[in-house]
């Protein structure tokens, strides 16, 4: 019998959608689920299949997974899994693709609008029961730069254009992409950001993008510009970002992802009035399991049938 372990640090109702679906469609497997990686010990040694998100596990899980043969990541990003030294090279890794464009592009629009209209300022006034009016900024006529041009950027760009924005992309290689007014290669990032009013970060975390948004990039940005991170915390030099925010080198930031998650309670990001902190919410929406579970189901059927070559979204590493 195949042992399957689900590790999900999510609300119980969401966790149970995954558990019940796998249990219903694959009664022949022995299925276990825990809500935190610290609770895997009774099951991990026997687990052949692990279903999880990268931020929900830690290296000790893979070090103890002596029988592990396949990891199904429930997100697109596989950092937290693929980069763990305890994960053996022979373990198959699959992920998700193609359905993050809608939710993450909406999260980017929310971030830009919230920063432009100083939404946190209004919420603070509401908490004090104070009626305070102030002029806000518009997105219309502004330039948004998107670093990382893939599925999400392809959905975000036309939405920004509909709001009257100029859209500039930065990718690993400069190329023409529909919906973008201009495109630059990654090597031109420092020069490109000088003209941006909003910098939306979407590029995946890889060894080549680690801390690629650093002090030089923030120094090149306009003091009136805003930074939005919906990618991964490791892509940004967080010390440099903190310095830029504290010294008002940039106007503010909306941060959904961090190098360490959950964000520690003593992190200075929590206290900065020019920062909006969200809890890795960008792609987390109520319909997510409905998109992810068909992928899990298809791959599980192929895996149990021994058709490893037929599995989808296999990550090369």
Domain ranges for the chain: 3-99+285-310, 101-277
Per-residue pLDDT for 289 more than 90? yes
Greatest pairwise CA separation for the chain in angstroms: 65
pLDDT at 69: 98
Per-residue pLDDT for 174 more than 80? no
DSSP single-letter state for residue 66: T
d(CA 35, CA 43): 13
Task: Say which residues have a Cβ less than 8 Å from residue 299's Cβ, sequence separation at least 6.
Answer: 70, 72, 94, 311, 312, 313
CA atoms in the 13 A half-sphere facing the CB of 169: 28
280 is catalytic: yes
User: Active-site residue among 15, 100, 184, 232?
Assistant: 232
- Fold of the CATH domain 101-277: Rossmann fold (3.40.50)
Give the lowest-confidence range in 127-141, 165-179, 295-309: 165-179
167-176 — which CB contacts under 8 Å span 24+ positions? 167/143, 168/143, 168/144, 168/192, 168/195, 168/196, 169/145, 170/145, 170/146
232 is catalytic: yes
How many percent of the chain have pLDDT more than 90?
96
Q: Domain 3-99+285-310: state its class.
A: alpha beta
- Contact call for residues 278 and 263 (beta carbons, < 8 A): no
User: Active-site residue among 261, 297, 298, 301?
Assistant: 261
Give tens-digit pLDDT for 175-188: 888 899 999 999 99
Angle subtended at Cα 68 by Cα 280 and Cα 24, rounded to the nearest 5 degrees:
70
- Contact call for residues 68 and 90 (beta carbons, < 8 A): no
- Contact call for residues 87 and 67 (beta carbons, < 8 A): no
User: Do the first three CATH levels of 3-99+285-310 and 101-277 match, i.e. the same topology?
Assistant: yes
- Cross-strand pairs, 200: 146, 228
Alpha helices per DSSP H over the chain? 12-25, 41-44, 59-64, 101-116, 119-128, 151-162, 189-192, 215-220, 238-246, 288-304
Give tens-digit pLDDT for 87-143: 999 999 999 998 999 999 999 999 999 999 999 999 999 999 999 999 999 999 999
pLDDT at 177: 86
Instruction: For residue 289, report the phi and psi dihedrals to the nearest 5 degrees.
Output: -60, -30
> Span 17-42, mean pLDDT?
98
Give tens-digit pLDDT for 44-72: 999 999 999 999 999 999 999 999 999 99
């Amino acid at each position: 019998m195949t042992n399957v372990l689900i590790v999900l640090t999510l609300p119980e109702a969401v966790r149970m959608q995954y558990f019940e679906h796998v249990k219903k469609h694959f009664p022949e497997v022995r299925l276990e689920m825990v809500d935190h990686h610290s609770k895997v010990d009774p099951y991990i040694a026997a687990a052949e299949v692990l279903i999880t998100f990268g931020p929900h596990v830690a290296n000790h899980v893979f070090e103890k997974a002596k029988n592990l043969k396949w990891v199904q990541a429930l997100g697109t990003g596989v950092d937290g899994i693929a980069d763990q030294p305890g994960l053996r090279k022979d373990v198959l890794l699959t992920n998700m693709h193609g359905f993050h464009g809608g939710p993450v592009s909406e999260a980017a629009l929310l971030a830009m609008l919230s920063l432009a209209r100083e939404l946190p300022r209004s919420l603070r006034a509401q908490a004090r029961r104070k009626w305070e009016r102030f002029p806000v900024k518009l997105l219309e006529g502004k330039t948004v730069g998107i670093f990382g041009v893939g599925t999400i950027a392809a959905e975000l760009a036309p939405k920004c254009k509909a709001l009257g924005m100029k859209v500039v992309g930065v990718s690993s290689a400069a190329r023409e992409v529909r919906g973008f007014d201009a495109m630059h290669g990654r090597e031109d990032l420092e020069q490109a950001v000088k003209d941006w009013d909003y910098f939306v970060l979407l590029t995946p975390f890889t060894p080549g993008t680690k801390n690629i948004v650093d002090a030089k990039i923030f120094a090149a940005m306009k003091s009136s510009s805003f930074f939005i991170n919906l990618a991964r915390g490791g892509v940004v030099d967080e010390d440099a970002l903190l310095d830029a925010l504290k010294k008002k080198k940039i106007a503010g930031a909306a941060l959904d992802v961090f190098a360490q998650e959950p964000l520690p309670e003593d992190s200075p990001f929590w206290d900065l009035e020019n920062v909006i902190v969200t809890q890795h919410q960008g792609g987390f929406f109520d319909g997510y399991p409905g998109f992810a579970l068909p992928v899990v189901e298809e791959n599980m059927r192929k895996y149990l049938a021994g058709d490893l070559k037929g599995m989808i979204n296999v990550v090369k590493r």
